[in-house]
């Protein structure tokens, strides 16, 4: 009887520890979502009423996290994904930076325009048009 009681107490202890660890992850994810919403609401250059947002993925590594958020224009198929980098500051998370996903070189100037584009050198400009550099 004592052995069964000891095993039951051990199992209950393990379950409590697991529940506490899982609860912290859920709380962190909720706090990260809230931090991103707070960050977005603080931006005067965004009209959030015309967009739906969904946090697709949250990754936590110690006091740092990243979150992928999908923005969809209401009434349209237009969508964009942004990755947010966050840092734990006390009990809250703060957004450090954000960048569009899948557009790593979009503004770096290293991409070449497609062949045939007016400034690629492969296309033809109308007669008399000044050269495009």
pLDDT tops 70 at residue 111: no
* Higher-pLDDT residue of 3, 79: 79
3-state class (DSSP) for residue 61: strand
pLDDT per residue as tens digits for the range 87-99: 999 989 999 999 9
3-state class (DSSP) for residue 26: helix
- Residue 115 CB neighbour total at 10 angstroms: 9
pLDDT tops 90 at residue 41: yes
Please state, for a pLDDT cut of 90, what percent of the chain lies above it: 52
Give the integer Cα–Cα distance in Å for 65 and 24.
14
Task: Give the chain's domains with CATH numbers.
Answer: 2-100 (3.10.450.630)
Greatest CA span in the chain, whole angstroms?
Answer: 99
Mean pLDDT of the chain: 75
Tell me, what's the pLDDT at 46? 87
pLDDT per residue as tens digits for the range 63-79: 999 999 999 999 998 99
Tell me, what's the pLDDT at 25? 53
Closest CA to 71 of 93, 89, 56: 56
* Higher-pLDDT residue of 16, 33: 33
pLDDT tops 70 at residue 20: no
Global pTM reads 0.59
For residue 132, what pLDDT band results from cuts at 50, 70 and 90?
low
Q: Which residue has the tokens 């960050």?
A: 39
């Amino acid at each position: 009887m004592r052995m069964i009681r000891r095993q039951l107490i051990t199992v209950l202890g393990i379950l409590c520890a697991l529940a506490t660890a899982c609860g912290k992850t859920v709380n962190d994810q909720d706090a990260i979502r809230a931090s991103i919403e707070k960050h977005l609401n603080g931006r005067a250059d965004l009209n959030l009423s015309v967009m739906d947002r969904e946090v697709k993925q949250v990754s936590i590594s110690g006091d740092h996290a990243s979150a992928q958020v999908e923005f969809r224009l209401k009434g349209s198929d237009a969508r964009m994904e942004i990755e947010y980098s966050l840092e734990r500051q006390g009990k809250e998370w703060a957004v450090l930076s954000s960048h569009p996903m899948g557009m790593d070189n979009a503004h770096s100037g290293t991409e070449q325009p497609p062949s045939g584009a007016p400034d690629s050198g492969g296309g033809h400009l109308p007669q008399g048009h000044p050269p495009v550099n």
